[in-house]
Amino acid sequence: MVQTLGEGEGRVMTAQEIDRIECAIRHIQSSLDVDPWARDIAVDAMKKQMPKKVRITTSTKRCSVCGRQLSGIGNIHPERNYCQRCGQAIDWGSE
């Protein structure tokens, strides 16, 4: 089952965990006895668990899914692992 991570929980997902989620997504997408709407919700929730790189604009760093501003351009907030609007896991990258 998909693990739930509390807001502000200061831990980064391992590559192995990401692999497991990708595997679970493939399973669900290929399973024909799941209602399509339930499949979409499950896949969407699991994808949000996988960190996505921030979208960098000229002056801000934003959530690449919903566009919410996460930080100014020079700042990294590693304690903020999730977008507060959509719940997407954030990868701040290394700069």
Q: Please, which residue, 35 or 79, has the CB nearer to Zn ion?
A: 79
Among 21, 65, 89, 90, binds Zn ion (CB under 5 A): 65
Asked if 45 is part of the footprint of Zn ion (rule: CB under 5 A), the reply reads: no
Single residue of 49, 54, 61, 63 touching Zn ion by CB under 5 A: 63
For the chain, the 3-state helix, strand and coil shares in percent, each to the nearest 5, are 30, 15, 55
Candidate ranges 2-10, 25-33, 42-50, 56-64; the one touching Zn ion (CB under 5 A): 56-64
Q: Which stretch binds Zn ion (CB under 5 A): 7-15, 16-24, 57-65, 71-79?
A: 57-65
Helix 36-49 × helix 15-29 angle, to 10°: 170
Query: 32 burial class (0-12, 13-18, 19+ CB within 10 angstroms)?
Result: exposed
Answer yes or no whether residue 88 interacts with Zn ion by CB under 5 A: yes
- Per CB under 5 A, residues contacting Zn ion are 63, 65-66, 68, 83, 85-86, 88
